[in-house]
Amino acid sequence: MNALVATNRNFRLASRLLGLDSKLEKSLLIPFREIKVECTIPKDDGTLASYVGFRVQHDNARGPMKGGIRYHPEVDPDEVNALAQLMTWKTAVANIPYGGAKGGIGCDPARLSISELERLTRVFTQKIHDLIGVHTDVPAPDMGTGPQTMAWILDEYSKFHGYSPAVVTGKPIDLGGSLGRDAATGRGVLFATEALLNEHGKSISGQRFVIQGFGNVGSWAAQLISESGGKVVAVSDITGAIKNCKGIDIPALLNHVREQKGIKGFHGAELIDSNSILVEDCDVLVPAALGGVINRENANEIKAKFIIEAANHPTDPEADEILSKKGVTILPDIYANSGGVTVSYFEWVQNIQGFMWDEEKVNKELKTYMTKGFQAMKGMCKTHECDLRMGAFTLGVNRVARATVLRGWEA
């Protein structure tokens, strides 16, 4: 099932639990605006190349729209629509004053030089500068983009609108980026996991973790979990998968990955088949890579008691049903990986105030938001007698629906 179908399905189930009328339901689903622009740049060899840039702005009832910009050769409009919608519910679950958006450029960043990427980013910004803004739509990095991309957008936007550091988040620290942003999603995963385990009378310490994906989110989650006394027994990335039942030495693995650009060849663990990573014996499974990895084919084999969705949409609805029958507790993506957008909000706040926080304050505030979010989600589970995924969706959809009605926007 693709991401858009699954997201729409979860939205409709939440809408029914909340008793929303069909007109309001329809208006909440339709994106506010979809933008498509042609971006033509001179390549380094003097030839011209054209790329398609786009932005889906889903909802702004609760505040400016927020979401990543990705550079990827195969950009699926349905997936972008789903991710924009997901950002609307995610920001509402986190209780930060944003709506959802998503966008990017259909290109392969690995095949473009730095100067070509800069030209492309600047042309894209020129095309959309009057449709984004500090109080309109605030982009952030995503697949294939990073702090440098945000710096170029900030600079190009500022040529039209004056210096505006709050127009993007995920910026370099030197241009108003926030301390703690790099680790934010992984740290949010830690706080979310702590909240869930505490609810079940357990703590991170002594639990066995399997982490699929060792990019930014997976590596930070592994580091912070192992620092908190958790035992990471298996890890995978693009280069392969490794396992050590006694626990992998995460600081040593991080050094290895920095030098070798992947976990392959790490000596402190045995090599295993990448496809078996999700079904390894553990207490807590953390999918932190791609969507749709837990499906009806492998759901029955999963041995974990808890699944923390650090990736977007890693569990198919069919797998959801199989796992809930097995008594597996799933902490949904729209709550579990909201640490990144929460600290993006802190960055935006700091930029608007012109007053930067130290890292300790960023992490303390993040813990407060993640803890309050968990309690609010549990409250909806009790009210509607539903699982955590529906608890999160009803919480998010309800907050957006209330804002929509209060502003007099319902059809």
Residues identified as active-site: 102
Task: Render the burial of 70-109: b for 16+ CB within 10 Å, e for the rest.
Answer: bbbeebeeebbbbbbbbbbbbbbbbbbebbbbbbbbbbeb
- Coil, strand or helix: which one is 270? strand
* Four-CA torsion 78, 79, 85, 88, nearest 10 degrees: -160
- Coil, strand or helix: which one is 261? coil
Neighbouring residues of 30: CB distance < 8 A, sequence distance ≥ 6: none
- In which element (H, E) is residue 236 found? strand 231-237
Distances (CA, A) of 205 to 139, 220, 228, 287: 37, 17, 6, 19
Contact call for residues 37 and 120 (beta carbons, < 8 A): no
Task: Render the burial of 309-339: b for 16+ CB within 10 Å, e for the rest.
Answer: bbbbbbbbeebbebbeeeebbbbbbbbbbbb
Give bridge partners of residue 42 from the DSSP assignment.
48
Question: Which residue, chain included where needed, has tokens 């004056």?
Answer: 162
Q: At what angle do helices 216-227 and 250-260 cross, to 10 degrees?
A: 160
Question: Which residue, chain included where needed, has tokens 């998503």?
Answer: 102
Contact call for residues 102 and 134 (beta carbons, < 8 A): no
As a residue count, the chain comes to 411
Q: How far is CA 308 from the centre of its chain?
A: 13
Amino acid at 128: I
Task: Render the burial of 178-192: b for 16+ CB within 10 Å, e for the rest.
Answer: bbbbbbbbbbbbbbb
Contact call for residues 389 and 397 (beta carbons, < 8 A): no
